[in-house]
Amino acid sequence: MKLKTVQRSLLPLGVTMGVVLAERLSSWFKPWLTQPGAAVLFSVVVIAASIELVKVFAETLFDHSRLLRRALLGDQYLEGTWFDIMRVAGKPSEVGLSWLSYEDWELRYAGEDYDLKCDANNAELAMTHRFPYTAEKIVYLKDNKLLYKYTADRSDRDDLEIAGYGELQFHPGEHGIPTRHSGHYYRPEGGGVFRKISFEGFRLDEKRERECLQRLNNPETRKDAMRQLLQRFGG
């Protein structure tokens, strides 16, 4: 995974900077480094400090620059807001929003799903129940596939919190960066039985979908925005 490659490259970079810095500082502090082994110890301390400084600087820069993350990760750049459609027997059963982000050199995955049961008048998709979830123990495989375990809150069940597992396959868009994903997860139904739920997701572009994202971030307009997204992507 490119994220781990970037992280691993920080060690040799920090060592190189530390060696150069240690040589210069040693020449400046030479009159005070007269004890046996003092110069070596000084160099070790400078190199160790340089490694930590490089790590802190790189992590801060990586966390605060979305443009940098996109440039470094390329076709493995997964960050963003995704609109998901869950299907049972080929028909939409739930819709959801999922968020992929990076924190402390790790990929984070979380979201929330809504049921698609109609209201009493059978007039619209009521989305009565909300099911937030968080992925844990994410394993990244080659070809942009993720395996994960998750925990979710189910307000439509007696056992409010459940745990299951699933997988995501990301598909590249026009410029190589993934714009769609597909996959499935397994939901416990009791008695050791798991139900397979298939789904597909669509990345929402931050520039072109700015108004839609604003509506999704507002609890008062979120459901209407999701209904419109279902009409757009659910065909």
Domain ranges of the chain: 2-64, 77-233
The residue that leads in pLDDT, 135 or 161, is 135
Q: Which comes out higher in pLDDT, residue 20 or 34? A: 20
**pLDDT (0 to 100) of residue 83:** 96
User: What SS3 string covers 3-67?
Assistant: HHHHHHCHHHHHHHHHHHHHHHHHHHCHHHCCCCCHHHHHHHHHHHHHHHHHHHHHHHHHHHCHH
Q: Give the CATH fold of the 77-233 domain.
A: Lipocalin (2.40.128)
Whether the pLDDT of residue 118 is over 60: the answer is: no
pLDDT digits (tens, 9 = 90+) for 82-112: 999 998 888 888 999 999 998 888 889 999 9
Cβ-count burial 9-35 (b if 16+ within 10 Å, e if not): ebeeebeebbeebbeeebeeeeeebee
Calpha distance 235→72 (Å, rounded): 35
Please check the confidence at residue 4 and state whether its pLDDT lies above 80: no
Predicted local distance difference test score (pLDDT) of residue 29: 60
pTM: 0.79
| pLDDT for position 14 | 61
What is the pLDDT of the chain when averaged over all its residues? Answer: 81
Q: How far is residue 152 CA from its own chain's centroid?
A: 17
Paired with 109 in beta bridges are 100
Q: Supply the pLDDT for residue 38.
A: 65
User: Cβ(130)–Cβ(222) under 8 Å?
Assistant: no
CB of 201 closer than 8 Å to CB of 171: no
Q: Is the pLDDT of residue 16 over 50?
A: yes
- The residue that leads in pLDDT, 149 or 193, is 149
User: Residue 146 has what pLDDT?
Assistant: 92
The greatest distance separating any two alpha carbons of the chain, rounded to the nearest whole angstrom, comes to: 89
